[in-house]
Amino acid sequence: MGKIAFVFPGQGSQNVGMGKDLFEQNEKVQQTFHIADTTLNYSLSDLIFNGPQEKLTLTYHAQPAILTVSYALLEALKVEGISPDYTAGHSLGEYSALVASQAIDFKDAVHTVSKRGEFMEEAVPNGQGAMAAILGMDREKLADITESVTKNGDPVQLANINCPGQIVISGSATGVEQAGKEAKELGAKRAITLDVSGPFHSVLMEPAASKLQSVLDEIDVRDAKVPVISNVTAQPVTTANEIKERLIEQLYSPVLWEDSVKTLLSLGVDTFIEVGPGKVLSGLIKKIDRSVTIYSVFDSDSLNKTVEALRGE
Kindly tell me if the per-residue pLDDT of 126 is higher than 90. no
* Domain end residue (candidates: 167, 196, 225): 196
Q: Are residues 109 and 225 in the same domain?
A: yes
* Same domain, residue pair 118 and 134: no
Whether 211 shows a pLDDT value over 80: the answer reads yes
Number of domains in the chain: 2
Q: Is the pTM of this model over 0.95?
A: yes
Determine the straight-line distance between the first and last CA of the chain, rounded to whole angstroms. 15
CATH number reported for the structural domain that contains residue 96 in this entry: 3.40.366.10
- The tens digit of pLDDT for each residue in 284-305 reads 999 999 999 999 999 999 999 9
Over range 302-312, report the average pLDDT: 94
Show Cβ contacts of residue 18 under 8 Å, excluding neighbours closer than 6 positions. 48, 65, 69, 277, 298, 299
Are both 237 and 299 inside the same structural domain?
yes
Do 86 and 215 sit in the same domain of this protein?
yes
Q: How far lies 106's CA from each of 4, 12, 49, 80, in Å? A: 22, 21, 20, 19
Would you say residue 187 has pLDDT above 70? yes
How many alpha carbons fall within 13 Å on the CB side of residue 302?
Answer: 18
The share of the chain scoring above pLDDT 70, in percent, equals 99
Is residue 91 among the annotated active site residues?
A: yes
Q: For residue range 146-174, list pLDDT tens digits in order.
A: 999 999 999 999 999 999 999 999 999 99
242 and 304 part of one domain: yes
pLDDT for the residue numbered 125: 85
What pLDDT sits at residue 1?
66
Q: What is the mean pLDDT of the chain?
A: 96
Task: Please pick, among 90, 201, 230, 300, the residue that the annotation labels catalytic.
Answer: 201
Q: Which residue in 91, 96, 114, 197 is the catalytic one?
A: 91
With 70 as the cut, is the pLDDT of residue 313 above it?
no
Any catalytic annotation for residue 45? no
Same domain, 7 and 114: yes
